[in-house]
Structure 1
Amino acid sequence: MAAARETRLRVIALYKELHRLGRDYPDPAYNFHKKLRGLFEKNRNLTDPGEIEKAIKMGEYIRNETLALYSLRKYRHLKRMYPNPSPADPTP
């Protein structure tokens, strides 16, 4: 029973983290929160511990990919802010 409670807490924490990450999702037409809720509701009735763990791993993968997307967006913004000097410019 304690393992089920621990798994439940992991899933809730993952949902909250993904929900917070979805606030800054760059494409509003994608509707991140609606898709997130749909995926969690679809897996709500899972009982097999192996399937539950597989679904948690998929959620963690989505979290990591979303974080990578945000990092890439920040990097691209910084790159636009500081353009590369042309080769003809003398370097100090």
Structure 2
Amino acid sequence: MMANPLRAEVVRLYKNVPLLLRPPQLLYLGREYPKGGDYFRDRLKAAFTKNKSVQDPEQIKAMIARGEYVARELEALYYLRKYRALKERYYAE
């Protein structure tokens, strides 16, 4: 049985790789999820476990692209929340 060459990409997407040049990934981003970190972690683990038997490289690449999209959306959500908090703090309406 050969190891899948995309495995490293999937692990990088799931875990927070401690390199300064890489953006935080899903498990790290889920810590500040509005419904709680435990909720996000359980859902994330279920999603990755559900698709662990996929062997087609093209399908794996598509799933990685979707995961990266979700990571960018979470980052945007957090930036928007911080922006709104600062706006409320400094600009009275």
Q: Which has more helix, going by share of residues?
A: 1
TM-score normalised according to structure 2 size: 0.79
For structure 1, the residue ranges without an aligned partner over 5 or more in a row are 87-92
Structure number with higher relative contact order (C-alpha < 8 Å, ≥ 6 residues apart): 1
Instruction: Give the structure-1-normalised TM-score.
Output: 0.80
Unaligned runs of 5+ in 2: 16-24
RMSD of equivalent CA atoms: 2.1
Superposed structure 1 runs of 4+ greater than 6 Å apart: none
Percent sequence identity over aligned pairs = 45
Distance 1:28 1:48, change over 3 A: same
Q: Which amino acid aligns with 1:9?
A: A
* Residue 37 of structure 2 is aligned to residue 38 of structure 1: no
Q: Is the 8 A contact 2:31 2:37 kept in 1?
A: no
Question: Aligned residue pairs: how many?
Answer: 83
